[in-house]
Amino acid sequence: MDDSAASPRLQQGGVSKVEAPKPRARDLGLPFPGRCGPCNAITDVPGVEVGYATLVNGEAVRTGVTMVLPRGLAGRATSPVWAGFHALNGNGEMTGTHWIREAGYFLGPIAITNTHGVGMVHHAVTRWMVERSQREPGPYAWFMPVIAETCDAYLNDMNGFHVQEEHVREAIEGARGGAVAEGNVGGGTGMICYEFKGGTGTASRVLSVGGGSYTVGALVQANFGLRPWLRVLGVPVGEHLTENRIWSAEQGSVIALVATDAPLLPNQLERLARRAALGLGRTGTPGGDGSGDLCLAFSTANATHGEAGGSSVEAMRFIPHHLLDGMFEATAQAVEEAVINALVAAETMQGRDGRQVDAIDHGALREVMQAHARLARRDSRP
């Protein structure tokens, strides 16, 4: 892993400021397995870019938008991105999935926002894609973008519908590669995870499969879980850190995005999406009824295949099924670490009606891990 991976300089699109480096989960000595990429982020997958708009205004606006651009801002909006979807628990929204199930691909950016922002973000992304496509060749006449959500109504005035078209454009146009901001940023701004302050988290794995080297990256908008369920690397942290609880029943949701440059068939990407659910499960959740736990896996490979203009047989590269175990484990690992990264990065936040959600205390977390013999030296980078 690149030396800067655990705490890279943060980039943050949109309205939010550049923050000073802050520790990530590995910096705390959490011994995550596997080898991560240079930024330990979804952007380690070549071409993938992330942009944010973060809205923190007054006492009650705590929300935003996160954009993941599979082919980057410079990429064509009308190039298929092969993908697979899985709902661990379908109490949430992710648009665009009927076509992903049918054809195995989507077009354009993936947006994540708050539950009641789905409509405006869908509107804005569609309009952006219409404009963008007019500068591209090809016959596209309609767009059905992928917009997902988790609910920030506890801290944010979600019924105020504060996410506007301009924020969507900021997030798209601010997208870039490299290190990715985590915690209270973008769509993750007002989110809550295992009753600690949650938000955006990311991680990656690099692995060799069938003679090639590939990256698997995850980005989560983590807004799920009851405290007693929380496990960190298998340690029942939630049974020890019992202060400042919020919920009596699951209220949240989580969106887990998995990116890879490995060439995979759509049904293989659905297999990865199902392993993303296992990664969520590793943090303790049984998939609470109130939680929309939606997983989308996509590959940046096979970029030019299946485009609307194509008129003959094409060839989709793929890794044979029986070589995929490493990809499956990498997916689960990256999603698990991304959730913990979101927890570690998030900072205590006050929101509407004087409510406060506390960040997990890094020292207390380390103590519990230490007590269970699951703490490495300060920096656990392999």
Positions marked active-site:
253, 291, 293
Of 310, 347, 356, 379, which lies in the binding site for a copy of itself, with binding defined by CB under 8 A? 310
Query: Cα–Cα distances in Å, from 363 out to 28, 193, 359?
Result: 9, 18, 12
211 is an interface residue for a copy of itself by CB under 8 A: yes
- Both tokens of 122, joined, read 């869908």
Least distance in Å: CB of 207 to a copy of itself? 12
51 is an interface residue for a copy of itself by CB under 8 A: no
Nearer to a copy of itself (CB atom), residue 199 or residue 279: 279
380 is an interface residue for a copy of itself by CB under 8 A: no
Nearer to a copy of itself (CB atom), residue 174 or residue 279: 279
- Both tokens of 313, joined, read 């047989």
**Scanning residues 69 to 98, which ones bind a copy of itself (CB under 8 A)?**
87-98
Nearer to a copy of itself (CB atom), residue 11 or residue 300: 300
104 is an interface residue for a copy of itself by CB under 8 A: yes
Of the candidate spans 38-46, 180-188, 313-321, 351-359, the one that interacts with a copy of itself by CB under 8 A turns out to be 313-321
192 is an interface residue for a copy of itself by CB under 8 A: no
233 is an interface residue for a copy of itself by CB under 8 A: yes
Strands 146-150 and 110-114: parallel
Query: Contact, 276 vs 256, CB < 8 A?
Result: yes
Rounded Cα gap, residues 258 and 260, in angstroms: 7
Rounded Cα gap, residues 233 and 380, in angstroms: 13
Nearer to a copy of itself (CB atom), residue 22 or residue 305: 305
What one-character-per-residue DSSP string does 189-239 give? TT-EETTEE-EEEEEEEEEEETTEEEEEEEEEEEE---GGG--BTTB-HHH
Q: Any idea what DSSP says for residue 58? A: T
| Per-position x/- string for 106-145, each x denoting binding to a copy of itself as judged by CB under 8 A, each - no binding | ---------xx-xxxxxxxxxx--x----------xxxx-
| Per-position x/- string for 350-379, each x denoting binding to a copy of itself as judged by CB under 8 A, each - no binding | ---------------------xxxx-----
Least distance in Å: CB of 150 to a copy of itself? 10
CA R_g for the chain: 19
Closest CA to 349 of 189, 147, 122: 189
Rounded Cα gap, residues 81 and 336, in angstroms: 24
Nearer to a copy of itself (CB atom), residue 102 or residue 243: 102
Q: Which residues of 151-190 are buried (b: 16+ CB within 10 A; e: fewer)?
A: bbbbbbbbeeebbbeebbbbbbebbbbbbbbbbbbbbbbb
Nearer to a copy of itself (CB atom), residue 108 or residue 177: 108
**Scanning residues 243 to 302, which ones bind a copy of itself (CB under 8 A)?**
249-251, 263, 265-267, 271, 274-275, 277-278, 281-282, 285-290, 292, 294
Q: Which residue has the tokens 């996410």?
A: 163
Of the candidate spans 44-52, 172-180, 181-189, 230-238, the one that interacts with a copy of itself by CB under 8 A turns out to be 230-238
Of 59, 136, 166, 325, which lies in the binding site for a copy of itself, with binding defined by CB under 8 A? 325
